[in-house]
Amino acid sequence: MSRITNTFKTLKEKNKKALIPYITAGDPHPDHTVSMMHALVDSGADMIELGIPFSDPMADGPTIQRASERALAHHVGLSHVFKMVKTFRENDDKTPIILMGYANPIEAIGAGTFVERAKSSDVDGIITVDYPPEECMEFTKLLKEKNIDSIFLLSPTSELDRVKLIIEQASGFLYYVSLKGVTGAANIDIEQVKSKVGMIRELTDLPIGVGFGVKDAATAKEVAKISDAVVVGSRMVQEIESSNKENLIQNISKLMKELREAVN
C-alpha cells in the first residue's frame, strides 16, 4: 500500500478529509523549500504537492507562473527537486510527497531515469499535466512497478469515455480540476463540482481530490464536504509571494492552520 493510499485510508477511518497544499520547489529560494514543507506538515498538511519549476506551465495561472520564474532564476531543476525530497525525508518518512509538473523535463532525462530517481528520492506520486492517458501507458507502468502513484487530472469537460480511460491507469487518487481554465482563474461552482464528483464516484473507489480554485478557508470547507481531499495551490503561493524571509514560515503556517480548521 502506498503512502498516499494509506493516508486516505487512515483519514477515512477518522472521518477526515485530506488537505494538500501546493508549493513550487525553489520558490522563493531553494534554501527555504524543505523548511516550508516541514512547516506545512506541522500546521496540518496531510500530503504535499511539490511543483517542478518549468518555463511554460500551461495549466498554471500568473501566480504559479511567477513562482516557477522565481525558482528558475535560482536555476532550480529536477536534480534539485529530488534532492529537496530526499532532505525532507531525513526527518519525515510518513507524509506523502507528490511531484507535479510537465512532460518536457521528464522526456529530457528519459522516463525510466525519471522514475528511478523519483523512487530513490522516496517520491510517492506523480502528476504530469500534459501527458494524456492515451500516450503515457508505459510511463504509468514504470511508476506502478516502483509503487509510485500516477495521479491524473479530470476536468469539467472530461467526457465519460475519457474518465473511464483515466480511471484504468490512475492510482492514489483522482484530481478533479474544479473549473475551466488555469490555476486560480475563477470562483468554484460548488454545485457543478458536486455533480461531476458524484458521477466520478459511480465509476471508481479511488479518492477524489479537488483543486484549481480553492481561494480561502470558506471555499475549502465547502469543497471538503463533497470530496476526499482539498488541494490549495495559488492561494498558498500568493502567501509565499507576499512574504519576506523573516515572516515566510509564520505566514504559510497561519494560512495552513486556517485551512485545516475549515476542512475539519
Q: What angle do CA 34, 37, 42 make, to 5 degrees?
A: 130
- Name residue 24's beta-bridge partners: 51
Residue showing cell 506523480: 126
| Distance of alpha carbon 210 from alpha carbon 179, whole angstroms | 10
Among 13, 42, 46, 60, the active-site one is: 60
Per the annotation, the verdict on 122 as an active-site residue is no
Q: What angle do CA 49, 248, 24 make, to 5 degrees?
A: 25
With 0-12 CB in 10 A as exposed, 13-18 as middle and 19+ as buried, what is 235?
buried
Q: What angle do CA 224, 50, 216 make, to 5 degrees?
A: 35
Is 223 within 8 Å of 190 (Cβ atoms)?
Answer: yes
Residue 6 DSSP class: H
Per the annotation, the verdict on 124 as an active-site residue is no
Burial 62-98 (b: 16+ CB within 10 A, else e): ebbbbbbebbbeeebbbebbbebbeebbeeeeebbbb
| Distance of alpha carbon 175 from alpha carbon 156, whole angstroms | 12
Among 27, 49, 124, 239, the active-site one is: 49
Active site members: 49, 60
